[in-house]
């Protein structure tokens, strides 16, 4: 919940200018709901995609305060983030609800960015693999492996979000390989082609090392995305 109308416009203008010569990586921005229309207008002709930070399960109806996927698509969104750690921890979104939102995004013509990851307590208890597998299996159970041919997965170690702590490239690779392996066990082609992003204090200073890992396909960038030039540097590291 960052920014203002002016800051969103400034960020997009600066990012588009900084990336005018590249990179080859696909880039998307996901501003708050109230700035999506402005962002869509500012992104025209830039090649930068638009995404939303959340969506409702329901297609429409009397659900005051919710935003349907079809509405997001109508204003120009291509992506929708589902299961962000803050939605899980602060708003009690369960694995089952996240899976339902994932299905809703695809139903309404959006590409879901599915977030999975463990808390610091879970990492220290040595249950990272169990947590990530449980979160993935909830989606596989509802949507099936075929759905991942049109989806993105983001590994978010919760202990590294907004804390300044970052998983080492080796730690990130270990979990990314786990995610890819779980999906590949159902369908080798899909598992080996799905894009898996790392999200957890990605910065210009660590992006290149993280993205050099074989199963890290890019970043889900948080606070660093609020600075156009810094965000562009991260995009270049992924391109």
**β partners of residue 179:** none
For residue 199 the two structure tokens come to: 């999200």
Classified as helix, coil or strand, 26 is coil
With CA atoms as reference, report the closest residue to 79 among 49, 120, 121. 49
Q: Is 84 a catalytic residue?
A: yes
Angstrom distance (rounded) from CA 138 to CA 100: 9
Active-site choice (93, 118, 156, 176): 156
Q: Annotated catalytic residue: which of 84, 93, 118, 176?
A: 84
Confirm whether 121 is a catalytic residue.
Answer: no
CA distances from 185 to 9, 21, 146, 190, 191 (A): 43, 39, 12, 10, 8
Beta bridge partners of 116: 155
| Contact yes or no for 108/72 (Cβ under 8 A) | yes
DSSP result, 136-156 = HHHHHHHH-GGGGGG-EEEE-
Phi, psi for residue 126 in degrees, rounded to 5:
75, 25
Catalytic residues: 84, 156
């Amino acid at each position: 919940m960052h920014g203002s109308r002016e800051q969103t416009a400034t960020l997009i203008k600066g990012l588009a200018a900084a990336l005018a010569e590249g990179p080859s990586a696909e880039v998307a921005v996901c501003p708050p709901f109230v700035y999506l229309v402005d962002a869509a207008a500012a992104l025209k002709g830039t090649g930068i995609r638009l995404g939303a930070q959340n969506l409702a399960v329901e297609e429409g109806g009397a659900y005051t305060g919710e935003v349907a996927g079809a509405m997001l698509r109508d204003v120009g969104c291509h992506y929708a983030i589902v299961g962000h750690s803050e939605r899980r921890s602060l708003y009690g979104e369960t694995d089952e609800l996240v899976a339902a939102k994932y299905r809703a995004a695809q139903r309404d013509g959006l590409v879901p960015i599915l977030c999975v990851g463990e808390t610091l307590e879970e990492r220290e208890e040595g249950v990272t693999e169990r947590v990530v597998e449980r979160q993935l299996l909830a989606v596989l159970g509802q949507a099936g492996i075929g759905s991942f041919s049109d989806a993105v997965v983001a590994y978010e170690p919760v202990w590294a979000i907004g804390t300044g702590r970052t998983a080492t490239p080796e730690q990130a690779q270990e979990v990314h390989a786990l995610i890819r392996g779980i999906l590949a066990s159902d369908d080798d082609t899909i598992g080996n082609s799905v894009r898996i992003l790392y999200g957890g204090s990605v910065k210009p200073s660590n992006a290149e090392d993280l993205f050099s890992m074989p199963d890290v396909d890019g970043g889900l960038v948080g606070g660093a995305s609020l600075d156009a030039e810094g965000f562009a540097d991260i995009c270049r590291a992924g391109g």
